[in-house]
Amino acid sequence: MQKEENPCIQSPPEYVCYRAVGKIRTDGHLVESSWRKALKTRPLVHITSGEEVHFNTQAMMVWDDRYWYVGCLVEETDVFACEGRHHTPVYHTDHDIELFVDPDGDGENYYEFQINPINTINEVFWDKPGRAGGQGIFGWDLVGIKHAVQVQGTLNCPDMKDEGWSVELALPWKSMGRMCPNVPLPPMPGDTWRVNFTRVEKTRRRPKIVRSTRQFSSVQEARDYIGPRIKGEVIESVDWVWAVAPEYNAHIPSSWGYVHFSDLEVGTAIRKK
């Protein structure tokens, strides 16, 4: 019997990005009229299987003459982050949300943005797809980008249940020329970009603490001891995405979703799917 193909892999998702109404303050709250009216992407799913996951993550997008605005709502019961160094891959230790942007859809010269719940960011410019011979410019800066997060809960407190966190970005058109050599900025109505969102979900497993009551007479004896000891937590990691990839790799631009830019104001029409 022929195996049924995953429909998510065959059909990248689509989104219509409408013009913003009124001013948007990039503070992570996502309360302005544009965000209340904006359409949400479908929830993020497992990166390769396309299966539904246990926390909801959805993005929104609008634009005006100066910025492309991106918002993301992230459900999470244990929000934690420790990486505060700029230009450091935050996904190594923390929850993060990532944005991938290939404006002309040629699979080259695309932008990767990462952000964690304490508003630490990391940016990379890729000339060709990463992990496949591409040369990433690490420590790259999109000049003038605005970014903010808000935590709905208590950060770094695993004993208290959180609701999640939110991300808000404003990417200035005037600084995006290097990734957009063949497309107009701002986009023309009807232009389509290839875009993907990734969430690196971290889950802390806190095993039962086992202590030894043994008394050691020397440092060497303590080192040689093989009995019960205090065990530290283990962090498990998984990737969730908007557009499913054919393999466990976020750097496959040909699999990313389609974002269609419209000159209609947000709230005036319905997205394609």
With 50 as the cut, is the pLDDT of residue 228 above it? yes
Residue 146 CA to residue 231 CA, distance in Å, equals 41
For residue 39, give both structure tokens: 């359409």
pLDDT tens-digit readout, 156-173: 998 899 999 999 999 999
With 80 as the cut, is the pLDDT of residue 243 above it? yes
Q: Which letter does DSSP use for residue 176 in this model? A: -
Q: Which letter does DSSP use for residue 97 in this model? A: E
For residue 170, give both structure tokens: 């404003």
Q: 258 with 192: CB under 8 angstroms? A: yes
**Across residues 219-223, what is the average pLDDT?**
75
Q: Which domains does the chain carry?
A: 12-204+240-265 (2.60.40.1190)
With tokens 């992570």, the residue in question is 28
State residue 209's pLDDT score: 54
Residue 81 CA to residue 116 CA, distance in Å, equals 7
Which string of b and e fits 71-106 if b means at least 16 CB within 10 Å? bbbbbbebbbbebeeeebebbebbbbbbbbbbbbbe
Q: How many CB atoms lie within 10 A of CB 204?
A: 11
Residue 26 CA to residue 257 CA, distance in Å, equals 24
Contacts of 20 (CB under 8 A, 6+ apart): 34, 62, 63, 64, 69, 265, 266
Which string of b and e fits 208-217 if b means at least 16 CB within 10 Å? eeeeeeeeee
pLDDT tens-digit readout, 173-219: 999 998 888 899 999 999 999 999 999 999 987 665 555 656 777 77
State residue 218's pLDDT score: 79
For residue 44, give both structure tokens: 């993020």
Output the furthest CA–CA distance in the chain (Å, rounded). Answer: 77
Contacts of 71 (CB under 8 A, 6+ apart): 30, 35, 38, 59, 60, 61, 166, 167, 168, 169
With 90 as the cut, is the pLDDT of residue 140 above it? yes
Does the predicted model carry a pTM greater than 0.75? Answer: yes
State residue 271's pLDDT score: 46
Name which of 9, 2, 44 is nearest 196 in CA terms: 44
State residue 273's pLDDT score: 41
